[in-house]
Amino acid sequence: MQALSQRRFFPMYYARGVADVTPEFIRGCGCSALLLDIDNTVSRVDAPEATREAEAWFDTLRRADIPMAFVSNNDPERVEPFARRYGAKYVSHAQKPRREGYDRAAQALGHAPDACMVVGDQLFTDILGGNSAGMQTVIVEPLCEAEDPVAFRKRRRLEKLLLRLDRLLCARRRKIGGSQNENHVSHRL
Ligand SMILES: [Mg+2]
């Protein structure tokens, strides 16, 4: 309840997909580095590469000189080759929502926590972890909800409930971007 009352469960910003998190928006929030979830945020689960949209976004970030690191609860066999493909630093087995993985990733990029923006698709890992680490947080719609196993889907339902509550209270003004991304199959926002 303490986390709930402190809004630690809730994202600071909502976006349909990563492309809405533009360099202008990132810098406008006072941030200069990105810490990214992988599965269902920039890549379909266990796909070896990011979606084409995410790859184009990586290029945009690179041109804008905004470094990124991947922070994933997945194992090194999944995370390391994925990060290497994009020349990014990474933390695998991050144990999100613990903040340590985010702290390590921020350190690896040489940025203070409050200069980092976390982007992910799950409240109970990405958003709670990023908020706990004192970072700004953006939730995106999951790329392929239908592939989630049953337990995952139950958690998604609870997440949706909380997000709806948050949206009712005050989230509308914090929604960013307006892309219609065909990769995103859910309509959580
Ligand atoms: Mg994810």
Residue 158 has pLDDT above 60, yes or no: yes
Sheet containing strand 13-15, strands side by side: 13-15, 136-140, 116-120, 33-36, 68-71, 89-91
Q: Is the pLDDT of residue 166 over 50?
A: yes
Least confident of 45-49, 110-114, 158-162: 158-162
Domain ranges of the chain: 2-174
Q: 110 C-alpha to center of ligand 1: Å?
A: 24
Angle at 96 between CA 51 and CA 166, to 5 degrees: 80
Residue 154 and residue 43: Cα distance in Å, rounded?
A: 21
pLDDT digits over 1-37, tens only?
Answer: 444 445 788 899 999 999 999 999 999 999 999 999 9
SS3 call for 13: strand
- CATH ID of 2-174, from 3.40.50.1000, 3.40.50.150, 3.10.20.600, 3.30.420.130: 3.40.50.1000
E strand residue ranges, 3-115:
13-15, 33-36, 68-71, 89-91
Query: From the CA of 37, how far away is ligand 1's center (Å)?
Result: 6
What distance in angstroms lies between residue 65's CA and the mean position of ligand 1's atoms? 24
User: What does pTM read for this prediction?
Assistant: 0.84
C-alpha of residue 4 to centroid of ligand 1, in Å:
21
What pLDDT score was predicted for residue 146?
A: 59
CA of 42 to the centre of ligand 1 (A): 8
